[in-house]
Amino acid sequence: MRGLFKKFKDGLKRQTPTFQKAFNGIFSAGKLDDAALEQLEEALYTADFGHETVEEIIEEIKAAYKADKEMRGEDAAKIGATVLARVLKGAEGRVQVGQHTPEIICLVGVNGSGKTTTSAKLAHLYQNEGYSILLGACDTFRAAANEQIKHWADRLNIDIVASQHGADSAAVAFDALDAAKSRSRDIVILDTAGRLHTKGNLMKELEKMHRVIQKQEPTAPHHSWLVVDGSLGSNSIEQARVFHKSFPLTGLIITKLDGTSRGGALVGIYRELKLPIYFVGLGEQPDDLQPFSAENYSNAIFGITDE
Ligand SMILES: Nc1nc2c(ncn2[C@@H]2O[C@H](COP(=O)(O)OP(=O)(O)OP(=O)(O)O)[C@@H](O)[C@H]2O)c(=O)[nH]1
């Protein structure tokens, strides 16, 4: 897991806007001073950590600095990481699949957040754990989406139910569940079409899909995860709130943490919705999916080496 979180750290280093520059300056220059503290505060705001979290981190560092004016940058980093890990302690979602047959996982989210890629990564993960998987290609809206998911299914040797571009996505979900039952699959992963949370008619379509799934299987969907692009900043909090209303969510997956300088938004989403973060996406390959670890994430943010 550490190796993959290194990708997140490397991503942070690659992009060098205010956030990382400030961090590098503060934590490698050694001693902390008032100017450095201000720079850190600004950097945390820029990275979308949100008011509450920024204040908590800064207050604790300030208190420690008041007690020890010789405090070094790396000590401040450790305090920052500890506070962040504490804020996120309850955010670590650990999922136990295998409670239902089939277990139904739905991925929803805005366009391009990484749903299709994450469906493939999840299928790969569970397949490696010995479960039989069926992918439901319910993104019938984007013309290339079908091809994309079929390509993944082919590459990873995973069973798939798909339909034509423009078909009713709820009908594909229905067919996928039917097929999973008759083929005795353990897990069904439904990839849905990306939609803006501001588009009422598309959100209604999602509600319909939820109803259709429940009709087929009253306890389902067993997991409804919002896939959030981790580089998108605080706008994703509103997104999450609106999706939650149409398609009751049970958790989050945060993608693209390997290439962002603004990885703070997930903290705001968690604080607001109290939904667990099950996985984080750290690249475009099938293995680039990891259970979320508050400690690894916090250390990566503050550049603390754990290797
Ligand atoms: N670097 C990086 N790229 C990712 C990650 N997850 C997805 N991507 C890339 O993000 C882009 C969009 O991913 P998709 O999986 O197609 O997103 P989607 O949500 O299915 O898109 P729509 O069907 O348009 O809603 C692709 O180029 C993916 O390779 C990740 O964790 N890290």
* DSSP 8-class letter at 20: H
Residues 75 and 129 in one domain: no
Please tell me the total count of domains within the chain: 2
- Tell me: ipTM over 0.85: yes
Average pLDDT over residues 95-112: 92
Three-state DSSP at 92 gives strand
Domain range for 66:
2-91
Residues 127 and 246 in one domain: yes
259 is in an annotated binding site: no
Residue with the larger pLDDT of the pair 183 and 5: 183
206 is in an annotated binding site: no
Residue with the larger pLDDT of the pair 176 and 38: 176
Mean pLDDT for all residues in the chain: 86
Instruction: Give the residue, by CA position, lying nearest to ligand 1 atom 29.
Output: 284
Ligand 1 atom having least distance to the Cα of 191: 20
Burial class (CB in 10 A: 0-12, 13-18, 19+), 225: buried
Of 9-13, 16-20, 206-210, the one with minimum mean pLDDT is 16-20
Residue with the larger pLDDT of the pair 8 and 16: 8
Structure tokens at 217: 């299987």
- Read off the pLDDT band of 296 (50, 70, 90): confident
Average pLDDT over residues 220-241: 87
Residues 169 and 268 in one domain: yes
Please say if the pLDDT value at position 254 is more than 70: yes
- Backbone φ, ψ for residue 180 (5° rounding): -60, -40
Residues 209 and 138 in one domain: yes
Residues 87 and 17 in one domain: yes
Global pTM value: 0.90
Task: In whole angstroms, give the CA distance from residue 78 to residue 241.
Answer: 32
- Residue 52's contacts (CB-CB under 8 Å, 6 or more residues apart) are 271
* CA–centroid distance, residue 227 to ligand 1 (Å): 10
**Residue to substitute in 8, 116, 290 for testing ligand 1 pocket (most ligand atoms within 8 angstroms of CB):** 116
194 is in an annotated binding site: yes
